[in-house]
Structure 1
Amino acid sequence: MKPVIGEANVRDMKEEPSSPSAAEGERFSLKAADYRTIPFDGPPATELPEWGGVAHAEGLKFILHPPLDFEIAYRIPDYLIFTPYARAVVDISVKDGPIRRQAWPAGSAFIVPPDTCVRARMAEPVEFLCIAVDPTRAETVFARVARDRPWAPQLIEDFGDPGFAMLQQELRRSLLGDPLVEPVYLETLADGMLARIGCYLAGAAIGTPAKEAISPGVLRRIVQHIEANLGEKLVVEELAEAAGLSRSHFTRAFQSATGEPPQDFIIGRRLSRARELLADTEREIAEIAVATGFSSQAHLSSTFKKRLGVTPARYRNAFR
């Protein structure tokens, strides 16, 4: 069935600014008052209220909330993605557990599997996006991304991913500012976000022996360390020590999670950074080699040619 977008809802979304002006305060406060009929400590809603501007595509509902006071209790049959556009501080309870205060940076996400009771109350108003995803659509994407690796639905409380954050921004732009927005484009953006989440789920369920496993949080920390220190010497033994594993166990677990041994992964990230600098800056190739952790321009050139089939100079010229 061809995806359908709620044209009136999208039009309303575009006409309302992300921050209410004084003249519009009454209209926004009325909507907020209506929405807060689902109190934090009340019976959970079984369907998300369509408030704040809504668009629909096949198996998807997008709700872009203005920065207003907000609270809700819900248990819906869909996957729910909450992602803020500024730092969000929320009092939250999951499965009627203890209430705790949690902060999410802009561009991060809180992903809730179907039929999970969540109670949430914003400490300060911020603009945020909710995406409700039909389980069939979400799990089709997750399974495709996993590529026969095991995975399982789970609550993800602190999802942070640069690719996800970029898609989140494009989705907002499309909902608010694109007069030609089409359901198929919204579907594509949402599927891209689901794919990034699917990578996390597959990584969290790596089918390796427990003694060789590496948790998603530790893996993310190791990768962030590598990205931040590409110009420095990166020693696998030190990475393994940071992960709390022996070198051999770390190497096997890292390869299971990323598809590459640590040293090959590091070389790949160095080449990726070098490609960015070659395309976007005028820095000398020798300088780029040092900045990305290669011992010399010759070392960068030989590795570049071996991996990519072209020299750094020829790669740069293609952008000119």
Structure 2
Amino acid sequence: MLSVLLHDARVELLPAAPYDVGYTPEVPVIGFAFETQAGSHAFASDRVTPFRTRPNSLAYVPPGCDVLSRSGTGGEYLTIRLRSGAEEPDARSGHFNDHVDPVAIEAARRLRRLLLMRAAADPLELEREVAILQGAVLRAAGGPHGDKIDVAAARWMTPRRLRLIEELIEAHMEDGLSVAEMAACVGLSAGFFGRAFKAAAGVTPHDHLIERRIARARRLMATTSSGLAEIAAACGFASHAHLTAQLRRRLGVAPSALRQAAQNR
């Protein structure tokens, strides 16, 4: 876990891992799921229900809301605990999760990059991204979709289709999977699939595929002694140089830094 305390918030980046938690926050809590997560949860009640969140989805829990949540696999997750008295949605809006907002996605990715860079991160940059995510929460409370979401297209990307795409990616990531193959998996044309997927997940299918490849590479670096060339091949990258370039561009760190950080946990 990476954590930083700012003037207005505590930010934590949690690695993908099973969890079983229960808590009642005293302050507003913003969450962002970089990966699909599945399990069961309950908010402000004893009624536990199954859930499956989309990748790149935003969540919010108001102060005083009892939360129970468990997952056998988890997923990389960002949490932001705002200071007491921070601006929050109208109390009637309550909690929410699985909300996709393209602006929030970019802010969460930048915030993750800054956290991974650690010593090089500027607190003012961290606070700026937190403010953007706070604004996304306020927007989300005002309606089910942001202005940039194509609602009609998003409806085609049902939970079942999203699950099939995730399963296909995990099973064939190292095979040079194409967008056309992903579209065929769910019975849609490549063009419409790209539009529907972006509407539902906030990113293009290709961008999502790269994120999944990077996530697998990070886990292999953390849990195995395999060389970079072997890890790159197992994740569908053309070479260890291609993997290294993607890690530097998207996360701002070299593979050696990620491996060292995993060993120090």
Structure-1-length-normalised TM-score:
0.44
Task: Tell me if 1:105 matches 2:54.
Answer: yes
The equivalent residue for 1:224 is 150
Q: Per-residue deviation at 1:106?
A: 1.6
Question: For 1:172 and 1:78, how far apart are their aligned partners in 2?
Answer: 22
Equivalent of 1:84 in 33, 54, 58: 33
Q: Per-residue deviation at 1:220?
A: 5.6
Q: Which segments of 5 or more consecutive residues in structure 1 lack a partner in the other structure?
A: 1-51, 143-149, 204-215, 229-320
Q: Is the 8 A contact 1:82 1:129 kept in 2?
A: yes
Question: For 2:122 and 2:67, how far apart are their aligned partners in 1?
Answer: 31
Question: For 2:113 and 2:119, how far apart are their aligned partners in 1?
Answer: 10
CA gap of 1:68–1:200, structure 2 versus 1, over 3 A, is closer
Task: Tell me if 1:176 matches 2:102.
Answer: no
Q: Is the 8 A contact 2:25 2:64 kept in 1?
A: yes
Equivalent of 1:73 in 22, 27, 46: 22
Code of the aligned partner of 2:68: R
Equivalent of 1:187 in 99, 106, 127: 127
SS of 2:86's partner is helix
Task: Tell me if 1:164 matches 2:104.
Answer: yes
CA gap of 1:161–1:174, structure 2 versus 1, over 3 A, is same
The equivalent residue for 2:10 is 61
Code of the aligned partner of 2:100: G
Q: Which has the larger radius of gyration?
A: 1
Q: Is the 8 A contact 1:92 1:102 kept in 2?
A: yes
Code of the aligned partner of 1:110: A
Q: Per-residue deviation at 1:53?
A: 2.0
Question: For 1:80 and 1:151, how far apart are their aligned partners in 2?
Answer: 14
Code of the aligned partner of 1:163: V
The equivalent residue for 2:136 is 196
Listed one character per residue, the Cα deviations across residues 62-109 of structure 1 (whole Å, up to 9, x for unaligned) are 111111221210001111122111111131011233111111112102
Listed one character per residue, the Cα deviations across residues 180-208 of structure 1 (whole Å, up to 9, x for unaligned) are 2122211110000111111222x2xxxxx
Q: Is the 8 A contact 1:110 1:158 kept in 2?
A: yes
CA gap of 1:200–1:85, structure 2 versus 1, over 3 A, is closer
Code of the aligned partner of 2:150: Q
- Name the % identity: 18
Q: Is the 8 A contact 1:56 1:183 kept in 2?
A: no
Question: For 1:177 and 1:223, how far apart are their aligned partners in 2?
Answer: 31
Code of the aligned partner of 2:123: P
Q: Is the 8 A contact 1:94 1:116 kept in 2?
A: yes
The equivalent residue for 1:249 is none
Q: Is the 8 A contact 1:67 1:126 kept in 2?
A: yes
SS of 1:185's partner is helix
Q: Which segments of 5 or more consecutive residues in structure 2 lack a partner in the other structure?
A: 155-265
Q: Per-residue deviation at 1:137?
A: 2.4
The equivalent residue for 2:66 is 117
Q: Is the 8 A contact 1:91 1:123 kept in 2?
A: no
CA root-mean-square deviation? 2.5
Question: For 2:121 and 2:93, how far apart are their aligned partners in 1?
Answer: 31
The equivalent residue for 2:229 is none
Q: Is the 8 A contact 2:42 2:48 kept in 1?
A: yes
Number of aligned residue pairs: 154
Code of the aligned partner of 2:95: L
Listed one character per residue, the Cα deviations across residues 11-47 of structure 1 (whole Å, up to 9, x for unaligned) are xxxxxxxxxxxxxxxxxxxxxxxxxxxxxxxxxxxxx
Tell me which stretches of 4 or more aligned residues in structure 1 moved more than 4 Å. Answer: 150-153, 219-223, 225-228
Q: Per-residue deviation at 1:177?
A: 2.2
Structure-2-length-normalised TM-score:
0.52
